[in-house]
Amino acid sequence: GRSPMLLHISWFTECMAAREPVKIEPRHLLEDALETLSKEASFCGSDGRSLAFIRAASVLRSLPSTLTTIEELNRLPGFGEHSKRVVQEILEDGFSAEVERVTQKEKYQTMKLFTNIFGVGMKTANRWYQEGLRSLGDLRNSQKLKLSKQQEAGLQHYEDLNMPVSRAEADLIAKMVEEVAHSFLPGTIITLAGGFRRGKLSGHDVDILITHAQEGREEGLLSKVIGQLQSQGLILYHDLKRNSYHDAFSPDSKSTSNMDHFERSFSIFRLKVASHIGDIGARDHSPESSKDWKAVRVDLVVTPISQYPYALLGWTGSKHFERELRRFSCNEKKMVLNSHALYDTVEQKILAATCEEDIFLYLGLEYMPPSDRNA
Ligand code: 8DG
Ligand code: MN
Ligand code: MN
């Protein structure tokens, strides 16, 4: 018979095609509850448990309509006992005592606060928590704390960076990048990836792919683009990484690592906004509240055209979709998929692709448009 994953993906495609675009409140409640438990598990170092809750939330998200009875739940894949229990609780009582207990926990609240800082991962957040730090004020006032440049920027722009980025803002930033890129290299192709490519109306950052139809022309472009934007005062933070695929990614490395080897910059842009737009003015009454700009996280990724379809697939997400797809290719197809290539471990060769459709074809899957990848 067909593999569970293949069934899951095709079941998932059908559901996504049928779903309504509007989120219904109870479903939201269920997903949020499962996501809270997933976060809590990851804060405790239980990655397996965390993933189980993510899977369950993802299944709910892909349903065409709201779940109302526990019987419907029993017919769904991907639900463990714990997730079922929590969902049942919410369906019956309107809330889950366990979830409420978690959100009240000081450790949970602090870890959530700290890991929402750009540049702060679980390990750092946990260390700070153990050291007795509890608030952003604690971090800002601490004398002995050694922050990286990235964390400093993350802390400085915390409020802005935790405000959603709108589609209009994302388009504006893509346009800015495109104009500057074209001034250095006409024909540069700029693509908005990430959640916005999946049709989301807002996101936590802007993911931009940069390529050029002529292989190799894209090399060195990013530092020029960043330099130009910086001289215009549009960059608050950047961290340029050189590409490393020449040494690190080769057919015989057979790397299953999810780390990318593209030239890239995880940066913070200074985006001009009309001061009456958004809740900037409403947030407080300090002189800062009249500021006419907003800090926005931007991921810029440069890819040679030969790797572009893989980079596009990898950077469109969602994270959970990518994880499931990579697991599927590995387990069911004995192929290693990452943002650079697809490697057939049986034939021992890299499979070249000219578009995303090629990749789905190699994997024996029906093509899924980006809007179906919101798992
Ligand atoms: P959001 O920003 O609206 O919250 O959602 P998103 O756009 O789906 O999430 P994201 O965190 O911006 O990630 C977008 C995709 O980028 C995700 O599927 C994973 C992919 N990605 C890579 N490499 C890397 C990497 O090194 N870091 C991060 N953060 N994402 C990466 O392929
Ligand atoms: Mn994103
Ligand atoms: Mn991103």
Any residues with Cβ below 6 Å from ligand 1, and which? 194-195, 200, 203-205, 207, 260, 314-315, 317-319, 322, 339
Domain final residue pick, 289, 308, 327: 308
Reported as a single tens digit per residue, the pLDDT across 9-41 is 655 555 555 544 433 457 788 999 999 999 999
- Distance of CA 194 from the midpoint of ligand 1 (Å): 6
In this predicted structure, the answer to whether residue 276 has a pLDDT above a threshold of 70 is no
Q: Are residues 291 and 334 in the same domain?
A: no
State the CATH number of the domain containing residue 118. 1.10.150.20
> How many domains does the chain divide into?
4
Reported as a single tens digit per residue, the pLDDT across 130-153 is 999 999 999 999 988 999 999 999
Containing structural domain, residue 30: 4-103
Residue with structure tokens 């990452």?
A: 338
Q: Are residues 318 and 301 in the same domain?
A: no
User: CB-side exposure of 32: number of CA atoms within 13 Å?
Assistant: 13
Q: Which of 78, 71, 65 is nearest to 92 (CA)?
A: 71
Q: Are residues 171 and 254 in the same domain?
A: yes
- Kindly give, in sequence order, each residue whose CB lies less than 8 Å from that of residue 229, ignoring residues fewer than 6 positions away: 176, 177, 180, 235, 269
* Three-state SS letters, the chain: CCCHHHHHHHHHHHHHHHCCCCCCHHHHHHHHHHHHHHHHHHHCCCHHHHHHHHHHHHHHHCCCCCCCCHHHHHCCCCCCHHHHHHHHHHHHHCCCHHHHHHHHCHHHHHHHHHHCCCCCCHHHHHHHHHCCCCCHHHHHHCCCCCCCHHHHHHHHCHHHHCCCEEHHHHHHHHHHHHHHHHHHCCCEEEEECHHHHCCCCEECCEEEEEEECCCCCCCCHHHHHHHHHHHCCCEEECCEECCCHHHHCCCCCCCCCCCCCCEEEEEEEEEECCCCCCCHHHHCCCHHHHCCEEEEEEEEEECCHHHHHHHHHHHHCCHHHHHHHHHHHHHHHCEEECCCCEEECCCCEEECCCCHHHHHHHCCCCCCCHHHCCC
Q: Are residues 90 and 115 in the same domain?
A: no
Q: Are residues 48 and 123 in the same domain?
A: no
In this predicted structure, the answer to whether residue 309 has a pLDDT above a threshold of 70 is yes
In this predicted structure, the answer to whether residue 252 has a pLDDT above a threshold of 50 is no
The answer to whether residues 41 and 53 touch, using CB atoms and an 8 Å cutoff, is yes
Q: Identify which ligand lies nearest to the alpha carbon of 321.
A: 1
The atom number, within ligand 1, closest to the CA of 202 reads: 3
Q: What is the pLDDT of residue 11?
A: 56
Our mutation pick for probing the ligand 1 site, out of 241, 296, 319, counting the most ligand atoms within 8 A of Cβ, is 319
- Distance of CA 161 from the midpoint of ligand 2 (Å): 12
ipTM of the complex: 0.96
Q: Are residues 223 and 187 in the same domain?
A: yes
In this predicted structure, the answer to whether residue 121 has a pLDDT above a threshold of 80 is yes
Q: Are residues 175 and 282 in the same domain?
A: yes
Mean pLDDT of 52-68: 88
Q: What is the pLDDT of residue 287?
A: 60
Q: Across the strands, what pairs with 272?
A: 293
In this predicted structure, the answer to whether residue 192 has a pLDDT above a threshold of 50 is yes
- Distance of CA 102 from the midpoint of ligand 3 (Å): 27
Percent of the chain with pLDDT over 70: 86
Q: What is the pLDDT of residue 177?
A: 98
State the CATH number of the domain containing residue 263. 3.30.460.10
Type of residue found at 265: S
User: Across the chain, which distance is largest between two alpha carbons, in Å?
Assistant: 65
- Distance of CA 207 from the midpoint of ligand 3 (Å): 5
Query: What is the average pLDDT score of the chain?
Result: 89
Nearest CA to ligand 1 atom 13: 194
| CA distance linking residue 136 with residue 142, whole number of Å | 10
Q: Are residues 78 and 147 in the same domain?
A: no
State the CATH number of the domain containing residue 318. 3.30.210.10
Q: Are residues 229 and 291 in the same domain?
A: yes
Active-site residues, by number, are 205, 207, 299
Radius of gyration of the chain (CA): 22
Q: Are residues 80 and 115 in the same domain?
A: no
Q: Are residues 130 and 205 in the same domain?
A: no
Q: Across the strands, what pairs with 206?
A: 298
The answer to whether residues 296 and 160 touch, using CB atoms and an 8 Å cutoff, is yes
Nearest CA to ligand 1 atom 23: 260
Tokens representing residue 9 in the block? 């993906």
- CB within 5 A of ion ligand 3: which residues? 205, 207, 299
Q: How far is CA 74 from CA 8, 25, 94, 328, in A?
A: 15, 21, 19, 23
195 CA to centre of own chain:
7
Q: Identify which ligand lies nearest to the alpha carbon of 258.
A: 1
In this predicted structure, the answer to whether residue 8 has a pLDDT above a threshold of 70 is no
